[in-house]
Structure formats: structure tokens, C-alpha cells
Copies of this chain bind each other. A is one copy, B any other.
């Protein structure tokens, strides 16, 4: 099938999905089973179902019903079930490093502990348990958080932390940053959703999203009633991004009457692991300038880079360096988090959006929406403070902090090689190297007999494969259909996060399973 034909097909499947039809691009692996009511069963003005229920799944907000979320979908639920039954599960379905044994960085956790229990600061033994710079930092934070961690902050987050984020950006990029254009949220997901909710007015409002994509985007766009327009990353070119493909996708969307308002890119890529070059970023910026599209830069993996040719460069920096008219014209939303990088503090829920060249009235609208939840959580804000303002050279905690960071990053790099080498050694499997982020996204060529067995089981090929893998090995992955993939190709996403001491087992178990699977179905 030609690329264009494939694209058209996947676009059609996206549309079908949005119309609630079952022939969806993510059929099978990505939807909670009982979330499949037929819309024909209920009318718009039904007050309750014939069984008596008002809050009946057939009478729920259609956008909610049609939303799909793969990372915690069928595979995850089955894995949870097996875990409850006593099976050892390796959860590689989500980038959750601490759950697989990553240790927290010491300094931020010392600061968090002191902020949680400020009475410790008055204890005579405090200096035996905490280094002086952690104590000093906790005092500084507590002075800036009126009422401590138990008080709501401003709905945009505490002003001190927003200033620290702005300084971090200025030092990273050599570009000015305004704390009033930075909002702290409960993880970067909330930032992304606040922005999408403001941008999407109706079904024709569309967001360009890379395929494969991170399902936060497909789920949120669907939930807010908009349309996702996919642009393909080229697997054969290391999941590269091309201006030609962007234009094709945009044209097709416009021909269909869609209003393309935003463009998402993920750098380093999730699930695809590629790192974008400065030229790539300049191309994206030029495209958004010419076509008047808001650029959404998902840069949550900026610390996670495992090659040296293309170090991370932010869209903000490239935008600035391109000069006018781009510098003051292109509307840019940049996202970052404490959940990824070497901190990996997923559970604390800290993240931010920086809004560049965004209309002040639009920023106030986002502020208003953020204020409905009153305040992002304070501990996530403090973790973010430690991320963007870590111990400096000469500080008592500096050496340990740098050593912890370097060790984790070096280990992640080794694991990126172990996982992708492992996949590439398997018959019928190819996998681009994980240049960055936390995932590998191998392509699995399934034999016809496997596809028949999948069909007989009512599953998509990749879902079938991932379920078999889970049952045989306890390895919990996400089928490629959850992220989008070209027709007739099958992928899965795994993280590279099992610890090195487990990784050998992981690779071996995968290898044995795959060989058995291929033997059974060839």
C-alpha cells in the first residue's frame, strides 16, 4: 500500500473512531470493554436508562464515551488482574521509573521532607540528618509558601517557583522568560489539557499530532470534542519528521474543512525515542508561522538523551535564534515535568507550561480555568523547584547530586542499547535505537497464522501478541494501536526502565517468548 493510501486509510479510521464506530484505528487494545455502548441504544434526551440508572454508560457525555486511553487500557487491566492473582508483573506499560526500582534523588527528597514537617527544622538533631543546603532550601521555600505546604498557592503556582523556572529557561536557552507566562500544574498532562481545552471550540477544530503519538493527546482532543489530524513519523528514517508530510497532512485536513489550530511534537519522542535536530525544529517553527498554527512543544524528556550527535535543544531557543518575524510571532506552548528525566518523580505530579507569544487575554482564560481547581499541589511544586534550581557547585549536596544524576543517565543509556539490541536480534522484529525518552517501539512482523488466531480471538494482531507476551512472561506493554501506526504494521511500546540487574532477564524472557510465538504460528 502506498504511503498516501495508508495515510488516507488511517485518517478514515481516526474519523470512524470519532464517530464512535468500532472500526477504529485503536480497536481492541485500547478501550475499556464496557465502554463500548452502541450510541443507537440511547437518545439525547433520555433522562434515565430502562434499567433505571441516570448515570448509565449509554447516557454519558458522548465525548467521554468516545475517549480512548491506551496506556491504562485492556493490557494494563489484564496485568493488574494477573498481579492480584499473584503473578510477577514487569510494568513496562508506562514510564514510571520508581515503580521499577529507580531510587529518588536525595537532595529533593530531603527538601520535601523538611517542608512536609517544618517542626523538624527546630529539632536539635536536624543537622545530623539533613545537610545544610537542604535545610537552607527548605527554609527559603517555607518563607515563600505562606502557610507552608498545607496552603493553597496561587492557581498558577507559587511565584518563587515560577521565577526559578523562568531562570532555568533563561540559563538553558539564553533567552528571556517571563514567570507570569509560566503556569505550574499537577504534572505536565494538566498543562497540556488546560491549553487544548481553551483551543478546541468544536469538532472541526483540529490538532496536528505525530503518529505514533502519546495517547494523552488523542484522549484529550477527543474529550474536548475536537479532531486529531495525524502526521506520520517515518520509521525507516529513524522516526524522522518531514515538512512534506506535515504539508500533506495539513492539506488533507483543510480539504475536509478542518480548522487546524495546533501542532504537537514530542522531543525526545514518545513512543518513538527520536531526538529532533535544530533544523527539524526550525522547520516546525517556519511551518507554524506560515500556516498560523500554535506550536505545542512536549519537551518532558529533555534530560533523557542517549546519543551525542543531537543534544536536546528547546523550541523556545530555536524560535529566539531564528529572529524576526518568528521570534515575536509564533505562538508556542512548551511543557516540562518532574516525572521524567533522572528525577522520575511521577507520583508527585509537578509540571509546567511556558507560554511564549500567547495573547494576554488567552493567558487569563487559562488562569481562570486553572483557578477552578484552586491550586496545583505544593509538593509537586517544590519538586519542580529542586529540578530547575538544583544544588550548585560548592554546595554541600552538589557532588552527590551530580553523581546520582550521572549514574542514572549512564544506566539509562546502557539500557536503551540493551533493549533495542535485544529486539533487533529477534527474527521478524526491527527497532530504531532509543535516542532519547524512555521507550522502545519495535515493529513486529506477525506471521499470517498469528493474524488468523488474533482475528479468531477478536483482537488486533498487536493486542493479541502483547496479551500472549503478558500471560507468558508477566511483561506488560502497550500495543502499537494505542499510539497509532501505519495500516498492516504492528508495534508495541515498552519502557527501557527495568533496572539493569533485571534487564538481562527481561531481554531473555522476551527472546524466549518471541521464539515460541513464532514457532507456534509459523
- List A residues at the B interface (Cβ < 8 Å): 32, 34-35, 37, 44-45, 47-49, 51-57, 59-62, 64-65, 67-69, 71-72, 80, 94, 96-102, 104, 106, 109-110, 112-114, 116-117, 119-120, 123, 125-126, 128-129, 145-155, 186-187, 189-190, 193, 195, 197-202, 204, 216, 219-220, 223-224, 259-262, 292-294, 329, 331, 343-349, 358-362, 364-365, 367-369, 371-380
Contacts and interface: CB of A to CB of B under 8 A. Distances in A.
A61 to B, nearest CB: 5
A360 B98 contact: no
Given A99-B152, A104-B148, A371-B72, A64 B202 contact: no
B361 A35 contact: yes
Contacts of A220: 372
A320 to B, nearest CB: 18
Given A347-B147, A375-B347, A110 B117 contact: yes
Given A98-B147, A126-B129, 15 more contacts: A34-B360, A53-B362, A54-B261, A54-B262, A55-B331, A61-B200, A69-B368, A72-B368, A102-B147, A113-B114, A150-B348, A189-B374, A193-B372, A349-B376, A377-B377
A68 B223 CA distance: 21
B187 A373 contact: yes
Given A61-B197, A204-B45, A32 B364 contact: yes
Given A54-B294, A129-B123, A347-B147, A35 B364 contact: yes
A348 B377 CA distance: 5
B109 A116 contact: yes
A377 B361 contact: no
B32 A64 contact: no
B346 A374 contact: yes
B45 A259 contact: yes
Contacts of A54: 199, 261-262, 292-294, 331
Nearest to A204: B45
Nearest to A54: B294
**Which 5 residue pairs spanning A and B have beta carbons closest together?**
A57-B361, A98-B147, A99-B147, A113-B117, A347-B378
Nearest to A380: B377
A347 B223 contact: no
Contacts of A189: 372-374
A67 B90 CA distance: 44
A347 B100 contact: no
A329 B129 CA distance: 55
19 contacts: A45-B204, A48-B292, A53-B331, A53-B358, A54-B261, A55-B199, A55-B362, A61-B224, A72-B155, A98-B150, A99-B152, A100-B147, A112-B117, A116-B379, A125-B128, A147-B347, A187-B373, A346-B375, A377-B379
Nearest to A146: B99
B146 A261 contact: no
A484 B117 CA distance: 39
A64 B197 contact: yes
Given A35-B368, A147-B100, A190-B373, A378 B348 contact: yes
B152 A346 contact: yes
Contacts of A374: 71-72, 94, 187, 189, 346
Nearest to A145: B347
A431 to B, nearest CB: 25
Contacts of A358: 53, 55
Given A35-B364, A45-B259, A116 B116 contact: yes
A461 to B, nearest CB: 24
A456 to B, nearest CB: 26
A292 B69 contact: no
Contacts of A202: 44
A360 B37 CA distance: 13
